[in-house]
Structure 1
Amino acid sequence: MDLTDTEYEAIRDGLLGSERPFFLFHDDPDGLVSFLLLKKFCGKGRGMMVKAEPNVNDRFLAPVRSVKPDSLFVLDVALMQQSFVDTVRGFGVAKIFWIDHHQPVRLSGVKYFNPRLHSPQNNPPASYLSYKAVRGTGNELLWLAMAGIVSDWHMPEFAPEFTRDYPDLLPGPMSAEEALFTTGIGKLGRIFSFMLKGPVSEAVACIRALETVTSPYDILNRLTKEGRFIYGKFKAINSEYEKLLAEAKEAADGSSGEKFLVFTYKSAQSFSGDLANELLFLYPDRVIVAGRERSEHYMLSFRARHAPVLPALQNALKGVDGYGGGHEKACGGSVSRKDFERFIEKFKKEF
């Protein structure tokens, strides 16, 4: 079970009953698509990305106060603070809806929708939950939903419908991983990911352009002004990504036979999650650690196919200046430069 019919109805009622919804969404394809699906359904509202730390806390009080929403939708964000909830209530936010699929968290004053409350091992992405809440009987939003869902390594039960309508983008049954790295719908998800990188103003411009797009081919084939704008941003970012991926492959070849593949890099952009995903696809038997080196710390992504990384990450962080969390086999975190080498050794020993 993902969510119950009653829960999906509550999401729809919340959207339709709100005059000024405000959406806070994780800055990845899953969060982005969740926002777009819900906004297209209700036809109103504003959105804001949750960048860096996936935590809705007091740094978002000023935007909420400025927008003056009557309802708040938090999408694909792992954490939210009770102090934030209590404070925005005083701003006139009547209802808060939280749609997520990470480790369950309980807060008062929040309508919480997480499939892991029904089954701890069941965690379809937020874009899947959002699509099922608003899809109705039509398929006009299916392409958008599939880009977000597949990007989060999930292949939904309605994938055959997508193959029927877009056989060139998903030729037939396959794993989400294979689709992500070998098909047109996977490329569209990569475009969504890369268009969110760089200056916030550029990401916002891409999101506004995407809100007007009605077909995946507008972007993939550059058929409209908006599609060409989005693809241009992707092309510029992708060139840097491909260079880093080539370096990571060299590091993998130079450490062949080792269980762990640790790759760190310097860049103005964050590619850790993207690199970790593709490296796991290319080297499925290895434990992947991809990290972006910043001035005082490393921003890290962890992936593994055959063993959970979350317990190892949590234990390795004890006594270390850092934080982390996420899914059993796909996590993120941050570790200070001074503790990085010690942390990596502890992380390896946990396996």
Structure 2
Amino acid sequence: MGKVLTILAHGDADGVCSAALVKAALGSKYDEVRVVFTHPVDLVKDFREFAAGDVYIVDVVIDEKYFSEAREALPSHRGRVVYIDHHPLPGEIPGIEIFHEEGASASELTYRMLAGLLPRRMSRVALYGAISDYMDYTEWVRSALLQWDKRIVYFESGVLMQGLERARKDHEFKREVVDHLTRGGAPSAMNRLLRLAEEQAKINEALTEWVEKNAVVKGAVAYVVNPPGPLGLAANLARGIREAPVGLAAEERGDIYVLSLRSIGVDLNAFLREFARKYDVSGGGHKNAAGGRVPKSLFEKLIDELNWYISRQRQGLVSSQ
């Protein structure tokens, strides 16, 4: 077997763009480049199964529940391990290379780390990822946008974000998107991606109407269960439509709920990691956008404790940011 580069990436637009940037910068140095899409709960499992040669992990938060396993597994790998991410870190992981910064997208961080190995046009790919992840306010993004027509960049970002959302777990297609971006192609030049984006836009419009009718408010939390569309969007819509500090969307999967939360001014990552440690469940993410997995039996307790957390924050007993 020749020299191998393994890229473990989140499957959203920021993760796909980060993977494309790594492949564009380093792919020629390896005989084989493997792109594997993963998520926080399965990161350690997928690392153990798929990691070969040098490994770049991009845009995948390390879940609180599995942090101790990650701290053991990642440094024990024989090749180089590079972790590029923008989510709050649950702790230190000695023995690997970490390029971490909150407040910027993983795509931006990847581009900044590898800029010397990338042509200028690849800054567009980093911009697509940043915009899709609501991280378009940084100094780097503002500067990079001046090199392009931002109306076109935002359009292409929308096509990419919506199309990938519609593709969901079609990882083979997402690898095709990575290759397309690696070559500097515009998202709208992929006919299937453009068609999927159009389909997702219609789903989003229907979801907005559904949330307006079905969002429930309990205290400072507006929530929906089993929304007919993306959980993150449903959570954000519930928050905005009901004018609540926190929006939550839950999807039923067997005996658990998969959760997505969005907030204004509430540190969801801190709350979810605290809740995860207390009840041995999965949870974490960004301050204003996070997710988790909890047994159905804990759902009401989670909402009650989240309201208690928000109440303490308003009293100044916990930090908001």
Tell me which interval the TM-score lies in, with the shorter structure as reference length: 0.7 to 0.9
Distance 2:130 2:150 in 1: 17
Q: What secondary structure, in the 3-state scheme, does the structure 2 residue paired with 1:342 have?
A: helix
Aligned partner of 1:72 among 55, 64, 84: 55
C-alpha contact 1:301 1:331 (8 A) present in aligned 2: yes
C-alpha contact 1:317 1:343 (8 A) present in aligned 2: no
2:10 alignment counterpart: 26
C-alpha contact 2:9 2:38 (8 A) present in aligned 1: yes
Specify the code of the residue in structure 1 equivalent to 2:86. H
Q: What secondary structure, in the 3-state scheme, does the structure 2 residue paired with 1:43 have?
A: helix
The 1:207/1:161 distance shift into structure 2, 3 A limit, reads closer
Residues 160-195 of structure 1 show CA distances to partners (whole Å, capped at 9, x for unaligned) of 54255214236xxxxxxxxxxxx5255135235415
Gapped runs of 5+ residues in structure 2? 311-321
2:43 alignment counterpart: 56
Q: Does 1:203 align with 2:167?
A: no
Residues 108-143 of structure 1 show CA distances to partners (whole Å, capped at 9, x for unaligned) of 32111213xxxxxx4312111111123348530122
Aligned partner of 2:97 among 102, 111, 124: 111
Q: How does 1:232-247 map to 2 (within 5 A)?
A: 232-247=195-210
Q: Tell me the CA shift for residue 54 of structure 1.
A: 4.5
Specify the code of the residue in structure 2 equivalent to 1:58. K
Q: Does 1:156 align with 2:138?
A: yes
**More displaced, 79-88 or 37-46?**
79-88
C-alpha contact 1:196 1:206 (8 A) present in aligned 2: no
Distance 1:337 1:190 in 2: 30
Distance 1:318 1:167 in 2: 42
Gapped runs of 5+ residues in structure 1? 1-17, 116-121, 171-182
Provide TM-score, normalisation by structure 2.
Answer: 0.79
Q: How does 1:275-290 map to 2 (within 5 A)?
A: 275-280=234-239, 285-290=244-249
Q: Structure with the greater relative contact order (CA < 8 A, sep ≥ 6): 1 or 2?
A: 2
% same residue: 20
Q: Tell me the CA shift for residue 319 of structure 1.
A: 5.3
C-alpha contact 1:23 1:48 (8 A) present in aligned 2: yes
Distance 2:276 2:150 in 1: 45
Specify the code of the residue in structure 2 equivalent to 1:261. A
The 1:150/1:278 distance shift into structure 2, 3 A limit, reads farther
Distance 2:145 2:271 in 1: 37
Q: What secondary structure, in the 3-state scheme, does the structure 1 residue paired with 2:83 have?
A: strand
Q: Tell me the CA shift for residue 98 of structure 1.
A: 1.0
Specify the code of the residue in structure 1 equivalent to 2:114. V
Q: Does 1:332 align with 2:303?
A: no
Q: Does 1:229 align with 2:192?
A: yes
Distance 1:34 1:206 in 2: 12
Q: Does 1:98 align with 2:78?
A: no
Alignment length (residue pairs) = 295
Distance 2:240 2:142 in 1: 21
Residues 75-120 of structure 1 show CA distances to partners (whole Å, capped at 9, x for unaligned) of 122226133225532xxx2x111111222332232111213xxxxx
Distance 2:194 2:211 in 1: 25
Distance 1:200 1:166 in 2: 30
Q: What secondary structure, in the 3-state scheme, does the structure 2 residue paired with 1:124 have?
A: coil
Q: What secondary structure, in the 3-state scheme, does the structure 1 residue paired with 2:20 have?
A: helix
Distance 1:214 1:239 in 2: 25
Residues 268-326 of structure 1 show CA distances to partners (whole Å, capped at 9, x for unaligned) of x7x21233345556666531111112111111111211232233334445654632112
Q: Tell me the CA shift for residue 261 of structure 1.
A: 1.0
Q: Does 1:125 align with 2:105?
A: yes
1:6 alignment counterpart: none
C-alpha contact 2:248 2:260 (8 A) present in aligned 1: yes
Q: How does 1:175-194 map to 2 (within 5 A)?
A: 183-191=154-162, 193-194=164-165
The 1:75/1:314 distance shift into structure 2, 3 A limit, reads closer
Specify the code of the residue in structure 2 equivalent to 1:156. T
Q: Tell me the CA shift for residue 331 of structure 1.
A: 1.4
The 1:58/1:315 distance shift into structure 2, 3 A limit, reads closer
Q: What secondary structure, in the 3-state scheme, does the structure 2 residue paired with 1:274 have?
A: helix
Aligned partner of 1:134 among 107, 114, 131: 114
